[in-house]
Amino acid sequence: MPENTWWKRGIVYQIYPRSFQDSNGDGIGDLEGIRRRLDHLAWLGVDAVWLSPFYPSPMADFGYDVADYCGVDPIFGSLGDFDRLVGEVHGRGLKLIVDFVPNHTSDQHEWFKESRSSRGSPKRDWYIWRDPAPGGGLPNNWNSNFGGPGWTFDAATGQYYYHAFLKEQPDLNWRNPQVRAAMHDVLRFWLRRGVDGFRVDVIWHLMKDEGFRDNPVNPAYQADQPDINRTLQIHSTDQPEVHGIIAGMRRVLEEFDDRVLIGEIYLPLDRLVTYYGENLTGAHLPFNFQLIHMAWRAQDIAALVEEYEGAIPPGGWPNWVLGNHDQARIAVRVGAAQARVAAMLLLTLRGTPTMYYGDELGISRVEIPPDAVQDPWERNEPGLGLGRDPQRTPMQWDGSPNAGFTTGRPWLPLTPDHGTRNVAMMQEDPSSILNLYRRLIQLRRRHLALSVGDYVGAHADGQVFAYERRFGTERLLVALNFGHAAQAVPLPEGVAGARVLLSTHASGEPAIHGQELALRPDEGVVLALS
């Protein structure tokens, strides 16, 4: 039953380790820093912590170029630090999810060093090597997601290797059973250390077209778009064979009790839901990023929810994400007032919500001076606004000069308002967005209708989206005003009365006049119906 499954009823909180808490003054967050800040997560009320990569890495892509899958980079600490963190996470009744980056390694990984040593290397086929095209040049037209071609020539062996991202991130060949076996052993290594699940990076990339056919040209491409949009990634991603690979990972997790497999997938809904797998043998939670890219309009969001609810296979469990380390923060996309409405949306829709660190503070855009840019994508394709640094800035804990994040120089700048937009000050302000998040989480815990109940669409008109959550005899109505003017919302037929459980507004309550709710501008409300 959903109410007995932690990853269905719970709330996931993503931490970008470089930016959560520095414990040694080098300006970069670490595992010990995360351990020291677990009280914040317990106070907030989340159920699981998801850590972005902390593995040994040259940091060409800040840890997504893994040089050793079974270790901890010294920047972040040691395996001993990791084990202590696992123990304290579990000691607080929380779960721990870690990133798994199986599509590519660092070019400094021992596997790749051996693979590129010669064409006869036993690990040559662990990566994707191709001869030049007839007459010379690239094997095909596949682009890198970070700009430029997806192929780099290795002069020593006379072949190209494929990299969907940076040239320092060569793609593994998942058609090779030795690669699959080695990566399954990586999963077991961390499962035995007590992790409760994995978020699998770019899971839809793992298999490529066996014939390496060119991707079709994108007729909608424009010059102000990134290179990756020049073609449609029909042959370089989302291949039918990927589902067998994911099912294999799922079987490894099922060797252990009560674990979760989450897949990062940026695909349209009709393709996304196939990653639940045949007979639900795929990812438990194929990440649903649709809210990140959807226009922030009531009717569009309502249509999205209805489409998603209808597309999930029987027995599949939904999930929702508002932001992560790759996407602009929600307060940037919708503004401060609507960020509060977004919080209510995220924490009251049916399915597992994933929060991103700092969103509970309403952190907005941080301007990164050119000389402080860290993101390789921004460096490769400057001027297109692709940089991910603004959503990776340090967590803001208090009003001290570096917001309590570090005693050194932060690796990225803080927001200009960090003196007031921080945990210490906002905890003391009952009207803050931080306390709104906490109250929403508490409300979700108290009401099974919100955590595991059914979803019933109720109303989508103008600037208002309203829906019911039901469990047993309990009926709750969530009404969200996406506009900046007051809106009237009809209550469902047959409702004798309604009681306000929570409003996103800092003071007062919305008025209920007979069968109509009067929402104030930029207000979300949860009502108990009777």
As a whole number of angstroms, the distance between CA 129 and CA 124 comes to 8
Domain end marker among 407, 440, 473: 440
Residues 369 and 460 in one domain: no
> Tens digits of per-residue pLDDT, 104-131?
999 999 999 999 999 999 999 999 999 9
Residue 447 domain-assigned?
no
Angle at 440 between CA 434 and CA 446, to 5 degrees: 140
Q: Catalytic residues, which ones? A: 201, 255
Residues 154 and 214 in one domain: no
For position 424, what pLDDT does the model report?
A: 98
Q: Which amino acid is at 510?
A: P
Q: Is residue 360 over pLDDT 90?
A: yes
For position 60, what pLDDT does the model report?
A: 97
As a whole number of angstroms, the distance between CA 487 and CA 493 comes to 19
Determine if the pTM surpasses 0.85.
Answer: yes
Contact 154, 160 (CB under 8 A): yes
Q: How confident is the model at residue 27 (pLDDT cuts 50, 70, 90)?
A: very high
As a whole number of angstroms, the distance between CA 44 and CA 257 comes to 27
Residues 380 and 519 in one domain: no
Angle at 342 between CA 479 and CA 436, to 5 degrees: 90
Domain end marker among 376, 411, 440: 440
Domain count, the chain: 3
As a whole number of angstroms, the distance between CA 6 and CA 10 comes to 5
Q: How confident is the model at residue 243 (pLDDT cuts 50, 70, 90)?
A: very high
Residue 446 domain-assigned?
no
Residue 23: alpha-carbon gap to chain centroid:
25
For position 383, what pLDDT does the model report?
A: 85
Residue 448 domain-assigned?
no
Residues whose CB falls within 8 Å of the CB of residue 417, separated by 6 or more in sequence, listed in order: none
Residues 386 and 520 in one domain: no
Q: How confident is the model at residue 6 (pLDDT cuts 50, 70, 90)?
A: very high
Residues 287 and 369 in one domain: yes
Residues 425 and 478 in one domain: no
Residues 227 and 313 in one domain: yes
- Rounded to the nearest integer, the mean pLDDT of the chain is 97
Map tokens 């829906």 to a residue: 467
Residue 445 domain-assigned?
no
Q: Is residue 343 over pLDDT 80?
A: yes
Residue 379, domain CATH? 3.20.20.80
Q: Which amino acid is at 93?
A: G
Residue 500 domain-assigned?
yes
Greater confidence, 79 or 496? 79
Question: CA neighbours within 13 Å on the CB side: how many for 269?
Answer: 18
Domain that holds residue 374: 2-105+177-440
Mean local confidence (pLDDT), 298-303: 96
Residues 494 and 418 in one domain: no
Domain end marker among 392, 410, 440: 440
Residue 172 domain-assigned?
no
Residue 117, domain CATH? 3.90.400.10
CA distances from 383 to 48, 144, 226, 227 (A): 37, 18, 10, 13
DSSP state of 511: E
Residue 475 domain-assigned?
yes
Residue 496, domain CATH? 2.60.40.1180
Contact 380, 403 (CB under 8 A): no
Residues 212 and 315 in one domain: yes
Residues 461 and 363 in one domain: no
Percentage of the chain lying above the pLDDT 90 cut? 95
> Tens digits of per-residue pLDDT, 246-278?
999 999 999 999 999 999 999 999 999 999 999
Buried b vs exposed e over 438-454: b needs ≥16 C-beta within 10 Å?
A: bbbbebbeebbbbbbbe
Q: Is residue 514 over pLDDT 90?
A: no
CA distances from 105 to 57, 115, 490 (A): 9, 12, 54
N-term to C-term CA, the chain: 26
Mean local confidence (pLDDT), 390-413: 97
CB atoms within 10 A of CB 433: 22
Buried b vs exposed e over 296-314: b needs ≥16 C-beta within 10 Å?
A: eebeebbebbeebbebbee
Residues 223 and 309 in one domain: yes
Residue 170 domain-assigned?
no
Residues 182 and 317 in one domain: yes
